[in-house]
Amino acid sequence: MIAAQPDALRALAALDVGAAASRLRAARRILIVGTGTSFHAAQLGAYLLRDGGVDAHALTSSEFARWRPPLVSGDGVVVISHTGETAYAREACSQVLAAGRPLVTITGPAAEWPGAIETPTRETSETYTVSYTAALGVLGLLANALTGVETGPPALAGVAEQVQQVIGAPGISQIASPARAMALVGPGIWAVTAREGALKIREAAHILAEGFDPELLLHGAAVPYGAGDTLIAIAPQADTDGLTAGLLAAARSEGVTTHELDAGAPPTDVAHHFLDQIPATVRLQLLAAQLSEANGTDPDHAITGAWAEPGLWSAGAPPG
Whether residue 37 is found in the same domain as residue 152: yes
Is residue 286 included in any domain, yes or no?
yes
Q: How far from each other are the two terminal CA atoms of the chain, in whole angstroms?
A: 31
Distance CA 36, CA 209 (A): 15
Whether residue 189 is found in the same domain as residue 145: no
Is residue 137 included in any domain, yes or no?
yes
Residues 6+ apart with CB under 8 A from 283: 166, 170, 171, 172, 261
- Give residue 263's pLDDT: 59
Could you please report the per-residue DSSP string of 105-122? Answer: EEE-TTS--TT-EE-SS-
pLDDT in tens, 128-182: 999 999 999 999 999 999 999 999 999 999 999 999 999 999 999 999 999 999 9
Whether residue 130 is found in the same domain as residue 23: yes
What's phi and psi for 104, nearest 5 deg? -125, 135
Instruction: Give the least confident one: 82-96, 109-123, 292-306.
Output: 109-123
> What's the mean pLDDT when you consider all of the chain?
94
Is residue 311 included in any domain, yes or no?
no
Among 114, 147, 166, the domain-final residue is 166
- Give residue 206's pLDDT: 97
pLDDT in tens, 29-79: 999 999 999 999 999 999 999 999 999 999 999 999 999 999 999 999 999
Secondary structure (H, E, C), 172-217: CCCCCCCCCEEEEECCCCHHHHHHHHHHHHHHHHCCEEEEECHHHH
pLDDT band of residue 269 (cuts 50, 70, 90) is very low
Whether residue 191 is found in the same domain as residue 94: no
Whether residue 132 is found in the same domain as residue 197: no
Number of structural domains the chain divides into:
2
Whether residue 138 is found in the same domain as residue 283: no
Whether residue 175 is found in the same domain as residue 160: no
Whether residue 27 is found in the same domain as residue 131: yes
Whether residue 188 is found in the same domain as residue 128: no
Is residue 309 included in any domain, yes or no?
no
Is residue 315 included in any domain, yes or no?
no
Is residue 288 included in any domain, yes or no?
yes
Could you please report the per-residue DSSP string of 48-72? Answer: HHHHTT--EEEEEHHIIIIISPPP-
CATH number of the domain where residue 15 is located: 3.40.50.10490
Among 137, 166, 195, the domain-final residue is 166
Distance CA 58, CA 71 (A): 14
Closest CA to 45 of 109, 156, 135, 123: 135
DSSP H or E segment with residue 96:
helix 87-99
pLDDT band of residue 271 (cuts 50, 70, 90) is low
Are 48 and 140 a contacting pair, CB within 8 Å? yes
Is residue 140 included in any domain, yes or no?
yes
Whether residue 156 is found in the same domain as residue 204: no
pLDDT band of residue 266 (cuts 50, 70, 90) is very low
Whether residue 33 is found in the same domain as residue 147: yes
pTM for the whole thing? 0.95
pLDDT band of residue 113 (cuts 50, 70, 90) is confident
Please count the helices (runs of H) and the strands (runs of E) in the chain.
12, 9
Among 110, 137, 166, the domain-final residue is 166
Whether residue 22 is found in the same domain as residue 159: yes
Residue range(s) defining the domain that contains residue 205: 170-295
Distance CA 315, CA 136 (A): 27
Is residue 180 included in any domain, yes or no?
yes
